[in-house]
Amino acid sequence: MTETKLQVLRSSSSGNCTAIWSGQEALFVDAGVPRRLLDEFIADNALKPRALLVTHAHADHLTNPAVNFFKDHSAPVYMGREDMVKAFCKYIPAIRKHRETVRIFSGPFSAGSYHIVPFELDHDSIGGCFGYNIRINGKTVVVATDLVNTPLDLVKHFKGADTVVFESNHDVEMLQLSGRPEYLKTRIREKGHLSNEKSASFLAGAIKNSPSSPKHIFLAHISHECNTHAKALSVHNNVLLPLCDGNTELHLTHRDRFSDIVVL
Ligand SMILES: [Zn+2]
Ligand SMILES: [Zn+2]
């Protein structure tokens, strides 16, 4: 059976991109990265881009050169709402120019062998923000970043997940003590992102609700100024490892380099 792999190419407030591939067919979630990085990634792994799933209309999740990359490979760019497309049109000319590349979903859909169930996240972006439950070759990946709340019914999208990419944005104290203006601190806390503690507590609930714990958990969208990799990892280790059946590995993601590659 063909192996399915996942790697987070970038994850931070300066750029986000996750790749999942099975055989030659690669699916991407977000492409807030330079085109060179996508070109090199597919060349190094001998892949063909199948589609891009965009989470929301913030500049760290999609770039103009990335839209041209997917257009040149005839790979559709999926978004959740027309409002999201309009918001991107303001600063991504390639979307205005190649509107036919963008497809709007209105529920679960397929892209090649990938079956995708989008779900809404609470985040302050025009046109909504979406997480994705992605099924491929009998394996399930869930990607969810950029969310401020974890309503009770969110856990259902994580049930049976083999690999989870989830936001662990900030350390509460580091955010408070940071030199950021008050309005920005309030925006992050109340409309933007999850702290390490809230992230770990949600994932604990998701694991308890699932028949087995995920094999891999990636901690994503870690703030450069208001968090450290060590803090994010230690909070999750303390909360999650006692709940897992010994088969779960925690992985970090980075603003300037690729994560580990995992086999689902
Ligand atoms: Zn973001
Ligand atoms: Zn955002």
Query: Ligand 2 center to residue 229 CA distance, Å?
Result: 20
Among residues 228, 243, 218, the alpha carbon closest in space to that of 175 is found at: 228
Instruction: Looking at the CA of 192, name the nearest ligand.
Output: 2
Ligand 1 centroid distance, CA of 187 (Å): 13
CA of residue 28 to ligand 2 center, whole Å = 17
Measured from the alpha carbon of residue 32, the closest ligand is 1
Ligand nearest to the CA of 12: 1
Question: What is the distance between the alpha carbons of residues 92 and 29, in angstroms, rounded to a whole number?
Answer: 17
Q: Could you tell me the CATH number of the domain that includes residue 167?
A: 3.60.15.10
| pLDDT at position 245 over 80 | no
Give the Å distance between the CA of 196 and the centre of ligand 2.
Answer: 17
Express each pLDDT in 47-57 by its tens digit.
Answer: 999 999 999 99
| Region 202-210 average pLDDT | 95
Task: Tell me the pLDDT band of 80, cut-offs 50, 70 and 90.
Answer: very high
Q: Label residue 249 by pLDDT band (50, 70, 90).
A: very high
Ligand 2 centroid – CA 43 distance (Å): 29
pLDDT attached to residue 246:
83
Ligand at shortest distance from the CA of 221 = 1
> Does residue 256 surpass a pLDDT of 80?
yes
Q: Is the pLDDT of residue 15 over 80?
A: yes
Higher pLDDT, 246 or 179: 179
| Domain total in the chain | 1
In the reported structure, the alpha carbon of residue 211 is separated from the centroid of ligand 1 by a whole-number distance in angstroms of: 30
Residue 108: name the closest of 99, 95, 120, 117 by CA. Answer: 117
pLDDT band at 247 (very low <50, low <70, confident <90, very high): confident
pLDDT above 90 for 2? no
User: Average pLDDT of the chain?
Assistant: 96
Q: Mean pLDDT throughout 211-232?
A: 96
Question: What's the per-residue H, E or C state across the chain?
Answer: CCCEEEEEEEEECCEEEEEEEECCEEEEECECCCHHHHHHHHHHHCCEEEEEECCECCCCCECHHHHHHHHHCCCCEEECCHHHHHHHHCCCHHHHHCHHHEEECCCCEEECCEEEEEEEECCCCCCCEEEEEEEECCEEEEEECCCCCCCHHHHHHHCCCCEEEEECCECHHHHHHCCCCHHHHHHHHHHHCCEHHHHHHHHHHHHHCCCCCCCEEEEECCCCCCCCHHHHHHHHHHHHCCCCCCCCEEEECCCCCCCCEEEC
Ligand that lies nearest to the alpha carbon of residue 15, given by its number in the listed order: 1
* Per-residue model confidence as pLDDT tens digits over 116-136: 999 999 999 999 999 999 999
Distance 56 CA to ligand 2 centre (A): 7
The mean pLDDT of 24-37, rounded to a whole number, is 98
pLDDT confidence of residue 244: 85
60 Cα: distance to centroid of ligand 2 (angstroms)? 7
Q: Does the model's pTM come out above 0.95?
A: yes
Distance 131 CA to ligand 2 centre (A): 12
Per-residue confidence (pLDDT) for residue 1, from 0 to 100: 75
Rounded to whole angstroms, how far apart are CA atoms 23 and 4? 7
Residue 58 CA to ligand 1 center (angstroms) comes to 6
What's the CA-to-centroid distance between 58 and ligand 2, angstroms? 5
- Tell me how many degrees the CA angle 38-12-18 measures, rounded to the nearest 5: 40
Structural domain harbouring 193: 4-263
Q: Find the ligand nearest to 87 CA.
A: 2
Confidence of residue 6 (pLDDT cuts 50, 70, 90): very high
